[in-house]
């Protein structure tokens, strides 16, 4: 009977690209591969013909990808902090921020509500290595935590000290910036080399940090192969965060003259100072102002190089899972904590509401997951946590605000779980994306920007003053206020809404 059932399932699904899993009662393994600062644009299989990512492509082509996955934003310049806190807690941005207080106090209830402990409580061995950047101690969330890394490899940015020197000494901003910032000035600028290990950074300790995470993964996989328990492995690479350092052979893969300038490239964003993206924001200080095409191409070269090096480490992890027989009952999730501009709209960092900085690659492969499928429904990055719980057979707790992606993956649902995608950056920016339109609000300067994403996916043409789009902008602004209430966003936009919607423009 069991054989007949399996045959029936195969016949029914043979016309689809489903991977046909063996029937098993064993809980599946969960592997979460988390990169840092990788925009959705920086994957070959997702449309970037310039970048070489054959192993990330394996996950994309071997599984299902979500082309419109978003992070909500951040409550400070380190957007990764909010992203990771949401991922680990299952809570939306402002609630995750408040929930951190329990982690800081080492409250056992707060710690028990983390992703790692939820998996452990249902019989999983849990492992973590790499970038953490969450207030809860990693070894209180996971049974094993190795080589916990800080947010930025070898960063020497000290905003307070720089401001003091600027105020007290007759120096320019470029003179007080650490090595690696405000460069390259021109083709002759030799102040920084992405392959020079003497700068530390990703080579601090003698081995590139991406390779350390890879080796830790090897150890975890070998240990797990001798255990009857399922495992949850959280592999958090610091790459491709700056300083974007990779071995020379990877930099050589991307000659400057072959790098294309993005369509949305700008020397400077018109409101950069007013929305918190001035040259005093460390991400933006990496390149000189105004931006030049050469500086942009140099940063893209280094960005692509470290991603290709990262990709090689991911490939070796996938190979090891296959070699030990673990892949047959393993779901692999791949995503990044947020995107990155790398020159688009005049930005370099992720502290803005444009898709390049909020939208991430998100792919999953494993038993029963359709291969090569693309889903264009709007989702949140943190839906990965809820998805893993469902795969593990763990009931989703009420406090988890995100949703399993499985109904979308298997075609049981087409529409988004969310009434619009919400975005925020401290008290300086707010955003709603809905029905192929995006409204960005800059509260401090009472400005609004509107984009029709169906005809303008690069977000080049601001329609906020167009009479044709006036009703759409007003509607989206009102719906943004509703999302603020839903997600416990205390920043008041009501007065600006009244002012803007009653103006004659």
pLDDT at 504: 54
**Nearest CA among 95, 135, 102 for reference residue 490:** 95
In a domain, 3, yes or no: no
Domain count, the chain: 2
Boundary-marking domain end, from 358, 374, 409 = 409
387 and 455 housed in the same domain: no
Asked whether residue 4 is assigned to any structural domain, the reply reads no
Residue 32 corresponds to which tokens in the numbers above?
């979460």
State the CB neighbour count (10 A cutoff) for residue 377.
16
Please state, in angstroms and as integers, the Cα–Cα distance from residue 206 to each residue in 39, 82, 212, 214, 258, following that order: 28, 30, 10, 15, 31
**CB < 8 Å & 24+ apart, contacts of 394-401:** 394/118, 394/119, 394/122, 397/90, 397/113, 397/118, 399/90, 399/91, 399/113, 400/90, 400/91, 401/90, 401/91, 401/92, 401/95
Statement to judge: residues 257 and 186 lie in one domain: yes
Same domain, 206 and 292: yes
Tell me: do 399 and 434 sit in the same domain: no
Identify the segments of the chain with pLDDT beneath 50.
1-23
Give the residue numbers spanning the domain of 444: 421-501
Q: Is residue 414 part of a domain?
A: no
- Which of 409, 435, 458 is a domain's end point? 409
Tell me, what's the pLDDT at 502? 79
Residues 394 and 437 in one domain: no
**Whether residues 167 and 209 fall in one domain:** yes
Same domain, 239 and 285: yes
Residues 456 and 311 in one domain: no
Whether 13 is in a domain gets the answer no
Asked whether residue 156 falls in the same domain as residue 188, the answer is yes
At 462, which CATH number? 3.30.1120.10
Residue 178: per-residue pLDDT:
87
Give residue-wise pLDDT tens across range 231-279: 999 999 999 999 999 999 999 999 999 999 999 999 999 999 999 999 8
Q: Is 102 helix (H, G, I), strand (E, B) or coil?
A: helix
Q: What is the pTM of this model?
A: 0.93
pLDDT at 154: 80
Q: Is residue 211 within 8 Å of 217, Cβ to Cβ? A: no
Whether residues 356 and 471 share a domain: the answer is no
Report the half-sphere exposure of 292 (CA within 13 A, side-chain side).
10
The DSSP code sequence of 467-495 is GGGHHHHHHHHHHHHHHHHHTT-----HH
Would you call the peptide bond into 184 cis, given omega within 30 degrees of 0 as the criterion? yes
End residue of a domain, out of 359, 376, 409: 409
pLDDT given for residue 317 in this prediction? 98
The answer to whether residue 2 is domain-embedded is no
Residue 415 within any structural domain of the chain: no
Q: Is residue 109 part of a domain?
A: yes
Instruction: State how far the alpha carbon of 309 is from the alpha carbons of 147, 227, 315, in Å.
Output: 19, 31, 10
Judge if 154 and 207 occupy the same domain. yes
Regarding whether 78 and 47 lie in a shared domain, the answer is yes
CATH number at 224 reads: 3.40.720.10
Among all chains, which residue has been given the structure tokens 């960063």? 155
List the alpha helices (DSSP H) in 148-272.
159-168, 173-176, 209-225, 248-251
17 lies in a domain?
no
3-state secondary structure 392-409: HCCCCCCCCCCCCCHHHH
Predicted local confidence at residue 500, as pLDDT: 82
């Amino acid at each position: 009977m069991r054989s007949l059932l399996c045959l029936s399932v195969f016949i029914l699904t043979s016309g689809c690209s489903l991977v046909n899993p063996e029937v098993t009662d064993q809980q599946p393994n969960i592997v979460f591969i988390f990169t840092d600062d990788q925009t959705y644009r920086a994957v070959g299989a997702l449309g970037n013909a310039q970048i070489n990512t054959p192993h990330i492509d394996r996950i994309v082509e071997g599984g299902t990808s979500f082309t419109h996955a978003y992070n909500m934003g951040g409550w400070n310049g380190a957007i990764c902090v909010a992203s990771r806190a949401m991922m680990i807690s299952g809570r939306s941005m402002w609630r995750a921020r408040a929930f951190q207080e329990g982690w800081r106090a080492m409250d056992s209830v707060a710690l028990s509500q983390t992703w790692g402990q939820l998996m452990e409580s249902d019989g999983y061995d849990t492992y973590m290595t790499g970038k953490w950047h969450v207030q809860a101690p990693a070894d209180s969330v996971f049974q094993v935590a190795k080589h916990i890394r800080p947010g930025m490899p070898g960063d020497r940015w000290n905003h307070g000290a720089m401001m003091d020197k600027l105020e007290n000494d007759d120096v320019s901003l470029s003179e007080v910036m650490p090595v690696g910032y405000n460069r390259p000035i021109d083709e002759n600028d030799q102040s920084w080399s992405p392959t020079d290990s003497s700068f530390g950074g990703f080579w601090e300790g003698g081995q590139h940090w991406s390779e350390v995470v890879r080796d830790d993964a090897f150890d975890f996989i070998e240990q797990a192969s001798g255990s009857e328990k399922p495992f949850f492995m959280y592999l958090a690479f610091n790459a491709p965060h700056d300083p974007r350092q990779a071995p020379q052979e990877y930099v050589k893969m991307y000659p400057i003259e072959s790098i294309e300038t993005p369509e949305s490239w700008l020397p400077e964003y018109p409101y950069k100072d007013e929305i918190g993206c001035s040259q005093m924001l460390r991400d933006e200080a990496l390149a000189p102002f105004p931006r030049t095409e050469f500086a942009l191409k140099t940063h893209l070269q280094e960005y692509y190089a470290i991603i290709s090096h990262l990709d090689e480490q991911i490939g070796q992890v996938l190979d090891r899972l296959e070699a030990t027989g673990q892949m047959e009952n393993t779901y692999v999730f791949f995503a990044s904590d947020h995107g990155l501009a790398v020159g688009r709209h005049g930005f370099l960092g992720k502290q803005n509401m444009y898709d390049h900085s909020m939208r991430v690659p998100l792919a999953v492969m494993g038993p029963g997951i359709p291969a090569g499928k693309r889903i264009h429904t709007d989702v949140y990055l943190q839906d990965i946590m809820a998805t893993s719980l469902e795969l593990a057979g763990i009931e989703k707790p009420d406090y988890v605000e995100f949703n399993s992606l499985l109904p979308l993956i298997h075609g049981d649902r087409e529409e988004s779980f969310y009434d619009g995608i919400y975005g925020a950056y401290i008290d300086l920016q707010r955003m709603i994306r809905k029905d192929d339109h995006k409204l960005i609000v800059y509260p401090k300067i009472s400005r609004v920007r509107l984009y029709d994403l169906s005809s303008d996916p690069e977000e080049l043409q601001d329609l906020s003053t167009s009479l044709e789009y006036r009703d759409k902008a007003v509607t989206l602004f009102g719906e943004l206020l509703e999302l603020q209430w839903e997600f416990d966003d205390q920043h008041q936009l009501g007065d600006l809404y009244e002012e803007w919607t009653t103006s004659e423009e």
